[in-house]
């Protein structure tokens, strides 16, 4: 049977981070909150990075709009590159077929030196 993830409220996370900022040791806060120290490190980092916007949603990490826009641009660029490569491949295939048709009659056996 799998373990389910524990969910913590925004207030709980902020209170834990506040205790860390007041100088309470990481181990003490981890024991009191019954949370792993690495989780507290992540909460503190997210609180520093995002401030009031930290800890929103249902356990999903906050994704900045600029990151989403950057990833969308990258996907668009890669799609364009794929299109260019497909067209190039198609052109090479057509040239190869034409070359095969024009050189079919010539053979090295029929070639004579004069």
Q: Buried b vs exposed e over 51-66: b needs ≥16 C-beta within 10 Å?
A: eeebbeeeeeeeeeee
- Answer yes or no: is 112 within a domain: no
24-49: per-residue pLDDT in tens? 999 999 999 999 999 999 999 988 98
Could you tell me if 78 and 97 lie in one domain?
yes
- Answer yes or no: is 109 within a domain: no
83-107: per-residue pLDDT in tens? 999 999 999 999 999 998 887 655 5
- Answer yes or no: is 93 within a domain: yes
Report how far residue 74's alpha carbon sits from residue 85's, in angstroms, rounded to the nearest whole number: 16
Residue span of the structural domain in which 17 resides:
10-53
Could you tell me if 37 and 69 lie in one domain?
no
**What total number of domains does the chain contain?**
2
Could you tell me if 36 and 69 lie in one domain?
no
Could you tell me if 42 and 76 lie in one domain?
no
Could you tell me if 71 and 40 lie in one domain?
no
- Answer yes or no: is 4 within a domain: no
pTM of the model: 0.49
43-71: per-residue pLDDT in tens? 999 889 888 888 876 555 555 667 888 89
Cα torsion angle, 11, 13, 19, 21, sign? negative
């Amino acid at each position: 049977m799998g373990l389910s993830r524990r969910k913590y409220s925004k207030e709980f996370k902020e209170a834990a981070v506040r205790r860390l900022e007041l100088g309470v040791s990481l181990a003490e806060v981890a024991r009191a909150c019954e949370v792993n120290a690495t989780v507290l490190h992540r909460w503190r980092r997210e609180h520093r990075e995002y401030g009031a916007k930290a800890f929103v949603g249902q356990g999903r990490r906050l994704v900045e709009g600029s990151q989403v826009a950057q990833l969308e641009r990258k996907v668009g660029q890669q799609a364009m590159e794929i299109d260019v490569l497909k067209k190039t491949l198609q052109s090479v295939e057509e040239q190869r077929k034409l070359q095969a048709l024009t050189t079919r009659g010539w053979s090295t056996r029929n070639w004579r030196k004069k």
